[in-house]
Structure 1
């Protein structure tokens, strides 16, 4: 099915929060999101999201990259295959990203557009995205509550998430061994049968610290240890940490390019692989990576920690690919996510049901979020 794009819009949204979201490299005192909407000549609209949650000051910049470099490649184009369009645009923008010194920002802007094209295609076909992407059954997917803060907040947030139906929890650590262990011990003491805990260091350790850290964490039956090293550390460092760790390692949100993911699979250091569809690749590149992950016997666990549109896209991707993965759902307050999707998505006994409508399953109501919109642009063919 061919579609002609006649309108491209971007929305930069900001929402203040009372309690900062903290991690090993900093904190977020507000939640941001960049949403994009593509409308075709028949009046159908598809939605995507551009990763922009850190640093939050970069949201407007990424929206401008979409407006200036991505939208002109969409408007008045007859597009039959979103994946072919993404590959063409990725090649064209590669040198621009290098020249600008920020290939990641260009990749994220392109990813948001790609997600919108896939949503549009599924809406035109009248099917949910997970089925459009080859999914075969509509069973709920397992989820975990993510972004849990350290110290006493961790136990409190685990209890809050449990009350909302979660059975798996991921806690931010990397603040020093004594503090990390003091955070985790009461959490593990509180766990009920069947509940699982993961930890995320957010690239916060060097090799020496990681080697010691993963051994100290051997006290706990962790499901995974996420990003104990920076994503660009050499493979031999990852091999050493993997060999020293009782728990499998997880990473992938900060990789870019199919070759990087293939290398990670070939080197066998990761048990859980976590591409972020709004950060690199959209659905066009993430789907092949996710399928390669499951074919290699690893678990595909979509990374996501921002607004409602990217959260929905990640849900559909996991539902299409399945395997042993879990869906990441931010447990911290974020109206840019919750006001959009909480009315239609609930968690019961650690599982999230799939939305039933075409495409993402909802039509985002930007009127409801208008008080958070700080910048909006529209371009027409």
Structure 2
């Protein structure tokens, strides 16, 4: 799971101009990273208590790790499979179907690889009626490709993203974070945890009915006082009239942004909600595809755009969306494992309009126990790993303990019909 040293000869230092009369050194060959092997792992940790959501509940922490090998270099990404409970089975099948298009492909230009895969598979996803699972699988491959490129270039992801955008100045050593997942249960305990960790804001879960939602925000304010910034996430639970009413009721408690108050495939209604209420909106974790991301990022009232690099857009499209003209800050969604969090930290560090990184306050061994990466400081920021790629140092023993399924393939034959 850990990356070895870069392949000898792939990297070259900038040279000096040759002296007159001397032979000019040949230009170094462009970097190529042909994908020789794909390893897919399903990791799972059962939960002692269900975590309620407005639409369902979480019964286990799960993720799918996708590792690409090129020569003796490895890059690992993550594909989000929190919902539904059987999502990991679908992800295995989808990644197996995508496998022939990835093996042998060049991962040295991850955005180009992502664009090519999306173009090849768009028609399949349309006929299948499942763009979400496809993008979730592609996000894992894209993240792995960026990690692989970082190993080859010996550079952190944030540096690669900034250089690609033409920025070569210093990048931040840490980025601001907020605590999420507060409510409708364990409100006091989780709010106290956020304060103890020095986090500068918390996000509450709403969408459980007026009485429960108001009880959550009142309890947070009783613990944290009137000045702590509080955000509210409805997970697309409301229709427009309900959202307008709840934004007014909860807004009286100083909510700074409302995340996914409406279904994310109804941008016109979101724009209307912003016009009627003047609230600041956040969202993007369920917006799939470049065109949809571009439209969503331009919504009036959108204060924070929240693509998920493990779910909806990979690293490539998350970075592109964060660089579009506008005022929305890039605050990636993260409710997954270590690679997803590390990607979010690196993306914010490189963003022209950096926002906040989401840090789930509930226990998650897949985020904290399988690798060493971003570190939470006493000031409520997350350090940006300086190692190559995502900057994660994996614990192979921990990864093995949580692995429930693993497959490695070097074969390019497609699945039988």
Instruction: Give secondary structure in 2 for the equivalent of 1:133.
Output: helix
1:204-223: CA deviations, max 9, x gaps?
01112111111111211112
Q: Pairwise mapping of residues 55-74 of structure 1 onto structure 2 (< 5 A)? A: 55-69=84-98, 71-74=99-102
Task: Tell me the distance in 1 between the aligned counterparts of 2:373 and 2:323.
Answer: 30
Matched, 1:111 2:145: no
Q: Structure 2 matches for 1:34-53, cutoff 5 A?
A: 34-41=64-71, 43-53=72-82
- Structure 2: gaps (5+ residues): 1-30, 412-417
Residues 1:143 and 2:177 are matched in the alignment: yes
3-state SS of 2:189 partner = helix
Q: Cα deviation per residue 1:231-281 (whole Å; 9 max; x = unaligned)?
A: 12250x223321343531111111112222322344413121111111123
Aligned to 2:303: 271
Partners of 1:79 and 1:31 in 2: CA distance = 29
**What CA deviation, in whole Å up to 9, does each residue of 1:141-178 have, x standing for no partner?**
00011122215x11210101221232211110111112
CA distance in 2, matches of 1:353, 1:233: 36
Residue-by-residue CA offset, 1:308-336 (whole Å, 9 max, x unaligned)? 11111111111111524100111111111
**Structure 1 match to 2:115:** 87
Among candidates 393, 407, 413, match of residue 377 of structure 1: 407
1:174: which partner in 2? 207
Q: 2:362 is matched with which residue? A: 332
The CA distance in 2 between the partners of 1:159 and 1:333, in whole Å, is 14
Partner residue of 1:165? 198
TM-score of the two chains, using structure 1 as the length reference = 0.93
Against the structure 1 CA distance between its residues 234 and 318, is the aligned structure 2 distance closer, same or farther, given a 3 Å change threshold? closer
RMSD: 1.8
Q: Is the 8 A contact 1:167 1:194 kept in 2?
A: no
Indicate if the aligned counterparts of 1:221 and 1:247 stay in contact, CA closer than 8 A.
Answer: no
Q: Give the Cα separation in 2 of the matches to 1:19 and 1:326.
A: 28
Query: Any idea what SS the aligned residue of 1:348 has?
Result: coil
Number of residue-to-residue matches in the alignment: 375
2:303 & 2:172 partners in 1: Cα distance?
25
User: Alignment partner of 1:202: what SS?
Assistant: coil
Q: 1:209 to 1:182 in 2, by over 3 A?
A: same
Partner of 1:259: 291
Matches within 5 A, 1:1-381: 1-41=31-71, 43-69=72-98, 71-134=99-162, 136-151=170-185, 153-191=186-224, 195-235=228-268, 237-245=269-277, 247-292=279-324, 295-341=325-371, 345-380=375-410
Structure showing greater Rg: 2
| 8 A Cα contact 2:206 2:234, kept in partner | yes
Aligned to 2:52, what secondary structure does the other structure show? strand
1:192 CA displacement? 5.4
Mark the CA change 1:82 to 1:344 in structure 2 (over 3 Å): closer, same or farther: closer
Distance in 1 (alpha carbons) for counterparts of 2:226 and 2:171: 28
Q: Give the unaligned 5+ runs of structure 1.
A: none
TM-score relative to the length of structure 2: 0.86
